[in-house]
Amino acid sequence: MEQPTIYLDNNATTAVHEDVLAAMNEAASLYGNASSMHAMGREAAVAIEESRQAVRDLIDAQDGAIVFTSGASEANNTVFNLFRERIDLGAKRKRIITTTIEHPSIIETVTHLKEIGYAVDLCPVDNTGRVVLSQMEALLGDDVALVSVMLGNNEIGTIQPVKEIAALAHRHGAYVHSDATQAIGKIEVSMKELDVDYLSLSAHKFYGPKGIGVLALRKGVPFSPFVHGGHQEDGRRAGTYNNTAIIGLGTAARIAQRELPDENKRLWALREMLRVGIEERIPNVVVNGNQEHCLPGTLDVSFPRAEGESILLYLDLEGIMVSTGSACASGSLEPSYVLLASGVDIELAHGSIRFSFGRYNTEDEVRYVLEKLPPIIKRLREMSIR
Ligand code: PMP
């Protein structure tokens, strides 16, 4: 029997949707520079504006600006850079607040900012990875310029109370940014409803191409470009438009908006089928994250006395692709900082596996995982010296 390929790593990236691919193939002939004034330039510009509108509709950005970037990492960096610049220019508010479980494009950015002398506070999370509002409130003050809190966590799926945090932060006069990269297409994301000032997203997390994302801005909020050098994006982000990628993003945005209600339910059902199946078949497992406020397609599980990396490799041999929480840093296997920040014991953090579902996964695939996973864990536990 031919080995199946079961891709359960959709939080890392997703396959490009067939309609997105078709739109991008068609867009290949649209090679005019969208800044050119001739017919081919104008044709590209029209398509780009259609994509901008699709993103605006998807995130309910109202009359704010949609700025195309190379992805969410750049969008996140743009926000922190602009507040750093304001601080450098003498703004009264000099402190930034974010959380301990943000994506590395934020954690490493603020670590660097701290190293060079900026005031940054990391709001802790509870043992489900959720920000506790009273702890956020305790950190707020009239010296805070920016509060940045992700909407859904890439590793454990925990959804943050961004709307409530935004209300608190605004009451203290701070601006609010949310990295919504993992939430798009899985839960409803409305800038208006969340009442955030800045929002980041990335096309490759919802069946669009890699290397294209968005920083959305509420109308009238402070802005300063991260990439200087051209008049594109009203001077907000320089660089010749990547027509094909932007058109792919716009197509993916339309599909995500259309399919969200069904996709949300379907992903949760697959996730729950796997969770229940694992708990029934494998003794002594711990499901990480918040089971109520969780992205529908994310399941993060710790298997005590089994190493995450070993589980990943054995699953890979069976054609099942997952991810560990841990990053392989300079030869040493570091446990996940997200799990540690959520109070997960270091041994459990070492034995965690993230299963992340997407639109192409099926119940049959979950059954296959439930057949292959238990003997792998059993074998690894038998091999473990303790
Ligand atoms: N934020 C979150 C929450 C993410 O999951 C990712 C992708 N792993 C990013 C930001 C970075 O996105 P990009 O790959 O577009 O830079």
Mark out the alpha helices in 131-242 (DSSP H runs).
133-139, 162-171, 191-194
Provide the pLDDT for residue 363. Answer: 98
Give residue-wise pLDDT tens across range 213-260: 999 999 999 999 999 998 899 899 999 999 999 999 999 999 999 999
Q: Mention every residue, 6+ apart, whose C-beta is less than 8 A from residue 304.
A: 284, 285, 286, 347, 348, 351
Q: Kindly report the number of other CB atoms within 10 A of residue 362's CB atom.
A: 12
Answer whether residue 116 shows pLDDT above 60: yes
Which range has the worst mean pLDDT, 10-19, 72-81, 176-185, 335-344? Answer: 335-344
Answer whether residue 146 shows pLDDT above 60: yes
Provide the pLDDT for residue 72. Answer: 98
Higher-confidence residue of 326 and 175: namely 175
> Which residue, by CA, sits nearest to atom 10 of ligand 1?
72
Provide the pLDDT for residue 330. Answer: 45
Q: DSSP string covering 222-242, please?
A: ----SS-S--GGGGTS-S---
Q: How is domain 6-15+260-384 classified at the architecture level of CATH?
A: Alpha-Beta Complex (3.90)
Q: Kindly report the number of other CB atoms within 10 A of residue 358's CB atom.
A: 22
Centroid of ligand 1 to alpha carbon of 378 (angstroms) = 34
Provide the pLDDT for residue 334. Answer: 81
Answer whether residue 68 shows pLDDT above 50: yes
Q: Please compute the mean of the pLDDT values over residues 269-284 and round it to a whole number.
A: 98
Helix, strand, coil: what percent of the chain each, to 5? 45, 15, 40
Q: Which amino acid is at 287?
A: V
Give residue-wise pLDDT tens across range 255-268: 999 999 999 999 99
Residue 213 CA: which ligand 1 atom is closest? 15
Higher-confidence residue of 3 and 66: namely 66
> Which residue, by CA, sits nearest to atom 16 of ligand 1?
73
Provide the pLDDT for residue 385. Answer: 62
Centroid of ligand 1 to alpha carbon of 87 (angstroms) = 26
Q: Mention every residue, 6+ apart, whose C-beta is less than 8 A from residue 250.
A: 23, 47, 50, 51, 52, 53, 54, 55
> Which residue, by CA, sits nearest to atom 7 of ligand 1?
12
Answer whether residue 329 shows pLDDT above 60: no
Catalytic residue status for 123:
no
Higher-confidence residue of 89 and 325: namely 89
Provide the pLDDT for residue 43. Answer: 97
**In the chain, where does the domain assigned CATH 3.90.1150.10 lie?**
6-15+260-384
Q: Please compute the mean of the pLDDT values over residues 340-365 and round it to a whole number.
A: 94
**In the chain, where does the domain assigned CATH 3.40.640.10 lie?**
18-255
Q: Which two tokens stand for residue 159?
A: 């959804």
Centroid of ligand 1 to alpha carbon of 61 (angstroms) = 20
Q: DSSP string covering 22-41, please?
A: HHHHHHTT--S-TT-SSHHH
Short-list 183, 133, 149, CA closest to 295: 183
pLDDT above 90: percentage of residues in the chain: 92
Centroid of ligand 1 to alpha carbon of 319 (angstroms) = 25
Residue 71 CA: which ligand 1 atom is closest? 15
- Whether 303 and 285 have beta carbons less than 8 Å apart is answered as yes
How far is 373 from 147, CA to CA, in rounded Å? 41
Provide the pLDDT for residue 230. Answer: 82
Answer whether residue 321 shows pLDDT above 90: yes
Answer whether residue 386 shows pLDDT above 80: no
Q: Please compute the mean of the pLDDT values over residues 49-73 and round it to a whole number.
A: 98
Provide the pLDDT for residue 347. Answer: 87
- Whether 98 and 313 have beta carbons less than 8 Å apart is answered as no
Mean pLDDT of the chain: 95
Classified by CATH at the fold level, domain 18-255 comes out as Aspartate Aminotransferase; domain 2 (3.40.640)
pLDDT above 70: percentage of residues in the chain: 97
Reported pTM: 0.97
pLDDT band at residue 331 under the 50/70/90 scheme = very low
Instruction: Give residues (CB < 6 A) around ligand 1.
Output: 71-73, 103, 105, 150, 154, 179, 181-182, 202, 213
How far is 337 from 316, CA to CA, in rounded Å? 24
Q: What angle do CA 369, 375, 379 make, to 5 degrees?
A: 135
Residue 202 CA: which ligand 1 atom is closest? 15
Centroid of ligand 1 to alpha carbon of 3 (angstroms) = 30
> Which residue, by CA, sits nearest to atom 5 of ligand 1?
154
Among residues 22, 328, 333, 346, which one is catalytic?
A: 328
Answer whether residue 326 shows pLDDT above 70: no
Higher-confidence residue of 176 and 3: namely 176
